[in-house]
């Protein structure tokens, strides 16, 4: 779809000048729009969707009291969390206790700045992404790693044994799953030949090209499983593991700080889904390449959102179906299966590329 070409924007551009417009005004507007109209409502309604879907899977109807079909439930939840008492344990390490939720939420939101939700704009309009960094993939990995520190710090600073165990578990999980996740991302990277996410998406379109999920099914699988583990979702929700560790790293958190952890978890889910969409499922591209031109009528961002929703649904579906791994089994899975498979995939991709497409 054409980027928003509004006359007002054009006049602002002329007033501010190109530099200020493209590097100052435009990103700020996009961030504001993305954050307040995109991510935050999406997260709050993702919570509702999760409760609804889980409810339907579990022979019940989920929240349906606040507003018709419960659509005002997230607002009620947010209000509740905002006005609840925000307890600070007496023996907690205060600065770390306060810092931890921010460390979880911040990086998760920052990642959205490099994710392309739609195609590059024609000159004179805003693109459907905040910025296109040529090392975007590294940026994504780096930021995703920071989020885990929040869990560890939160678990440690609470001065609670269950929290500490949750923190340690999340540390173990991070170490085990960062590696296969990173390695899995190298596959599409090699195929696309660029670290820019926009370039990677563009490399999946055009004649003779296909979504990277087909050549890189293994990498996609590893990435998604590792992603589920990274975002601490069932069946890898060990750091919380409410039946074992009460609530894991956020046992002592309440009110808005707890809400931030919650926000971070769901933001991470969206990030993982968005990155998976971008790298493996052609981002904003319509399915079936150019076979059905009618599909291209639907704007790119909508395709992007649809694909993300599919992933989010499977997240919820997993939560509704699977038991939880034990933490040593989780690490077994990471080290003994995922990393060798990811390495194998890497070697295979490299070899095929070297032999069959040496000039690509």
Q: Provide the binding-site residues for other proteins, judged by CB under 8 A.
A: 53-61, 64, 161-162, 165, 168, 234-235, 237-238, 241-246, 317-329
Q: Shortest gap between Cβ of 344 and other proteins (angstroms)?
A: 14
Angle (deg, nearest 10), helices 136-157 and 161-192: 180
| Residue 159 or 205 with smaller CB distance to other proteins | 159
Count CB atoms within 10 A of the CB of residue 279. 29
Q: Shortest gap between Cβ of 67 and other proteins (angstroms)?
A: 15
| Residue 271 or 331 with smaller CB distance to other proteins | 331
Q: Shortest gap between Cβ of 230 and other proteins (angstroms)?
A: 18
Q: Shortest gap between Cβ of 202 and other proteins (angstroms)?
A: 32
What phi and psi values does residue 15 have, to the nearest 5 degrees?
-70, -45
Full 3-state SS string of 135-203: CHHHHHHHHHHHHHHHHHHHHHHCCCHHHHHHHHHHHHHHHHHHHHHHHHHHHHHHHHCCCCHHHHHHC
Q: Shortest gap between Cβ of 318 and other proteins (angstroms)?
A: 8
Q: Shortest gap between Cβ of 199 and other proteins (angstroms)?
A: 32
Q: Shortest gap between Cβ of 313 and other proteins (angstroms)?
A: 10
CA atoms of 29 and 50, how far apart (whole Å)? 30
- Burial state string for 245-274 with b = 16 or more CB within 10 A and e = fewer than 16: bbbbbbbbbbbebbbbbbbbbbbbbbbbbb
| Residue 80 or 161 with smaller CB distance to other proteins | 161
| Residue 128 or 162 with smaller CB distance to other proteins | 162
| Residue 70 or 282 with smaller CB distance to other proteins | 70
How far CA 66 is from CA of 42, 54, 70, 256, in Å, comes to: 18, 18, 5, 21
Q: Shortest gap between Cβ of 83 and other proteins (angstroms)?
A: 21
CA atoms of 289 and 211, how far apart (whole Å)? 9
CA atoms of 247 and 163, how far apart (whole Å)? 8
Compute, in degrees rounded to 10, the torsion defined by CA atoms 55, 57, 58, 60.
50
- List, in order, residues 6 or more apart from 77 with CB less than 8 Å away: 44, 47
| Residue 157 or 234 with smaller CB distance to other proteins | 234
Q: Shortest gap between Cβ of 130 and other proteins (angstroms)?
A: 35
**Pair of tokens at residue 117:** 């939700």
CA atoms of 315 and 232, how far apart (whole Å)? 11
């Amino acid at each position: 779809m054409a980027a928003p070409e509004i006359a007002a924007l054009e006049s602002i551009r002329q007033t501010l000048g190109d530099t200020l417009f493209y590097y100052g005004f435009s990103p700020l507007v996009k961030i504001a729009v993305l954050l307040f109209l995109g991510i935050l409502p999406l997260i709050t309604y993702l919570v509702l969707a999760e409760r609804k879907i889980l409810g339907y899977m579990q022979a019940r109807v989920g929240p349906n009291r606040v507003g018709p079909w419960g659509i005002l439930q997230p607002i009620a939840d947010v209000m509740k969390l905002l006005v609840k008492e925000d307890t600070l344990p007496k023996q907690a390490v205060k600065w770390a206790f306060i810092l931890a939720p921010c460390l979880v939420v911040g990086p998760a939101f920052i990642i959205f700045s490099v994710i392309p939700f739609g195609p590059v704009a024609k000159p004179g309009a805003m693109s459907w992404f905040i910025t296109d960094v040529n090392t975007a993939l590294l940026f994504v990995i780096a930021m995703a790693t920071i989020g885990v520190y929040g869990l560890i710090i939160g678990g440690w600073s609470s001065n609670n044994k269950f929290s500490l165990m949750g923190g340690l578990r999340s540390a173990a999980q991070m170490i085990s799953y960062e590696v296969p996740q990173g390695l899995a991302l190298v596959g599409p990277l090699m195929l696309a030949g660029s670290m820019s996410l926009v370039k990677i998406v563009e490399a999946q379109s055009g004649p003779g090209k296909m979504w990277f999920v087909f050549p890189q099914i293994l990498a996609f699988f590893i990435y998604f499983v590792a992603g589920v583990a990274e975002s601490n979702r069932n069946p890898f929700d060990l750091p919380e593991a409410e039946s074992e560790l009460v609530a894991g790293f956020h046992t002592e958190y309440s009110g808005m700080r707890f809400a931030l952890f919650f926000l971070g978890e769901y933001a991470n889910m969206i990030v993982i889904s968005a990155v998976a969409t971008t790298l493996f499922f052609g981002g904003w591209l319509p399915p079936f390449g150019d076979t059905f031109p009618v599909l291209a009528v639907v704007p790119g961002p909508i395709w992007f959102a649809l694909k993300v929703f599919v992933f989010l649904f499977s997240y919820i579906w997993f939560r509704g179906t699977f038991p939880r791994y034990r933490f040593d089994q989780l690490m077994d899975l990471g080290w003994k299966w995922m990393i060798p498979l990811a390495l194998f995939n890497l070697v295979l991709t490299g070899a095929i590329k070297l032999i069959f497409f040496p000039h690509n």
